Amino acid sequence: MVDLPAFVSIREVGPRDGLQNEDPIPTDAKVRLLDALSATGVRRIEAVSFVHPKAIPQMADADEVWQRAVRADGVRYSALVPNTRGAQRALAAGFTEIEVVVSASDTHNRRNVNRSTDESLDDIAELIDLLHGASARVEVIVATSFGCPYEGDVDPARVAGIVDRVVRDGADRVAFGDTTGMGTPRRVRELLTAVRDRNAQVPVLLHFHNTRGTALANLLTALELGVTEFDASVGGLGGCPYAPGASGNLATEEVVHMLQDMGIDTGVDLAAMIEAAELAEELLGKKLPSGVLRAGPRTRLTPMPS
């Protein structure tokens, strides 16, 4: 077996990617969730996105949420922005780590932002300049990297070409999103191989969905290939609008639970993350799809039968 890394860096995306795909909740509730997550030991949190409130009402109060949230020592907070206006708001709010998104699938990108992938990459080049000018770091998230719900398979060479382009344009990091859970260990291996053949040095983060049960197998494959950065969402918060009833984001506590038992440190206190997931269920008023949340960690024993 290959050596696995000793430390994995998890970015908690529940407050942004999670809540953005759920029914809106009050500002107070968002702050409570963010503060609970900041106290779990997780090292990175995607806190909010600065998007148009008519497009995404769930994030209309992003400024207020971020202003009221506790900024924990040792936690890196980031924000997602779709355009110049969002970038300016994020910078004004004090963020120095910014995410922007483009979809590898042209159809998916057009459906999201009514522009081709290439047009979005032009926009992103300008955003990178703007953000670098304000000393912020920029991660480009490539959505539908493991498949598109409209087009089907996405050629890893196409994704690698997008990485070429954004690295040339100055991106500090790239992330690959398995937007509708089409990833499998084979797709993870093919994509990472294609990207690294051309850009071995760019820091890579993977974002898996558990729509078809493969998320932790995909993560394990990426670990074996040396990837040490992953997104995860507390409780599995955030569904997938294209697959009703399907689970969406990989649950943070499921990642931490598996890695912890494998001796891989994440900095996260598993009990605290499960409590944050319980809080998320309370705030959302619904059950979340996480198995570790339901069953408890493997160390939680059933009382001995009498």
Q: Which positions are annotated as active-site residues?
A: 240
Nearer CB in complex with a copy of itself: 24/291 = 291
Are residues 97 and 139 in contact, defined by beta-carbon separation less than 8 angstroms? Answer: yes
Q: Does 286 bind a copy of itself (CB under 8 A)?
A: no
Among 24, 161, 170, 291, binds a copy of itself (CB under 8 A): 291
Q: Does 52 bind a copy of itself (CB under 8 A)?
A: no
Separation of first and last alpha carbons in the chain: 42
Q: Does 213 bind a copy of itself (CB under 8 A)?
A: yes
Shortest reach from residue 253's CB to a copy of itself, in Å = 9
Residues 9-48 that bind a copy of itself (CB under 8 A): none
Q: Does 70 bind a copy of itself (CB under 8 A)?
A: no
Non-local CB neighbours of 223 within 8 Å, separated by 6+ positions: 4, 5, 8, 264
Q: Does 251 bind a copy of itself (CB under 8 A)?
A: yes
Alpha-carbon torsion (128, 134, 135, 141), positive or negative? negative
**Measured between alpha carbons, how far is 13 from 133 in angstroms, rounded to an integer?**
26
Q: Does 7 bind a copy of itself (CB under 8 A)?
A: no
Strand partners, 103: 143
**Measured between alpha carbons, how far is 161 from 280 in angstroms, rounded to an integer?**
38
Nearer CB in complex with a copy of itself: 41/147 = 147
Q: Does 84 bind a copy of itself (CB under 8 A)?
A: no
Are residues 223 and 4 in contact, defined by beta-carbon separation less than 8 angstroms? Answer: yes
If residue 259 lies in a helix (H) or strand (E), which one and from where to where? helix 252-261
Cα three-residue angle 179-183-188, rounded to 5 degrees:
115
Shortest reach from residue 21's CB to a copy of itself, in Å = 15
Nearer CB in complex with a copy of itself: 62/255 = 255
Residues 93-132 that bind a copy of itself (CB under 8 A): 107, 111
Exposed, middle or buried by CB within 10 Å (0-12, 13-18, 19+), for 168? exposed
Among 130, 212, 271, 278, binds a copy of itself (CB under 8 A): 212
> Segment near a copy of itself (CB under 8 A), from 12-20, 98-106, 137-145, 178-186?
178-186
Token digits of residue 218: 């995909």
Shortest reach from residue 39's CB to a copy of itself, in Å = 23
> Segment near a copy of itself (CB under 8 A), from 127-135, 156-164, 168-176, 255-263?
255-263
Q: What's the gap between Cα 254 and its chain centre?
A: 15
Q: Does 271 bind a copy of itself (CB under 8 A)?
A: no
Q: Does 262 bind a copy of itself (CB under 8 A)?
A: yes
Q: Does 297 bind a copy of itself (CB under 8 A)?
A: yes
User: At 251, which amino acid appears?
Assistant: A
187-198 burial by CB neighbour count: b if 16+ within 10 A, else e? Answer: bbbbbbebbbee
**Measured between alpha carbons, how far is 170 from 247 in angstroms, rounded to an integer?**
34
Residues forming the site for a copy of itself (CB under 8 A)? 1-2, 107, 111, 147, 149-152, 180-182, 184-187, 189, 210-217, 219-221, 224-225, 240, 242-247, 251, 254, 257-258, 261-263, 287, 290-292, 294-299, 301-305
